[in-house]
Structure 1
Amino acid sequence: MSTSQRTSLRAAINERCRECIVDPLSRGSWREQVAACVSSNCALHAVRPVPRSCIVDGLICRAAVATVRERIDV
């Protein structure tokens, strides 16, 4: 397999999170739904994709994620 055919690590994580948690009938974008994920025992939880508004100084901001959770009623 050549490098151009490989899936990037970020793309693989994004896809796994989408498969696991995203519900097209629920409120919020897929990133908002993934950000609202409460499965902290998941190996990908710390690197899950979140909206840019949830990133502060390069880290996931818990307060911003809590705001997203409230907005989409998770």
Structure 2
Amino acid sequence: MDFAYDGKGRGKGGVATLRVNGRSAGQARIERTVPALFSISEPFDVGTDSQSPVGDYSRDYRFAGEIDNVTIDLR
């Protein structure tokens, strides 16, 4: 996912672009972001949620497919 942040400061919005295999798969405007840091007890998970689920599904859900690569490019 790419996120084009609106500017300096905390809590502002931007445009999120989801990429699959390097190609844009969708884009949406996010009006505001969380204006604080995240807790160390809530990790960044890929394919599972080890803490609080982000949607309406069981916390013990695990992706059954194969994830070949995850790239995080902080800009």
Normalised TM-score (structure 1) = 0.20
Higher share in helix:
1
Flag the structure with larger Rg. Answer: 2
Higher share in strand:
2
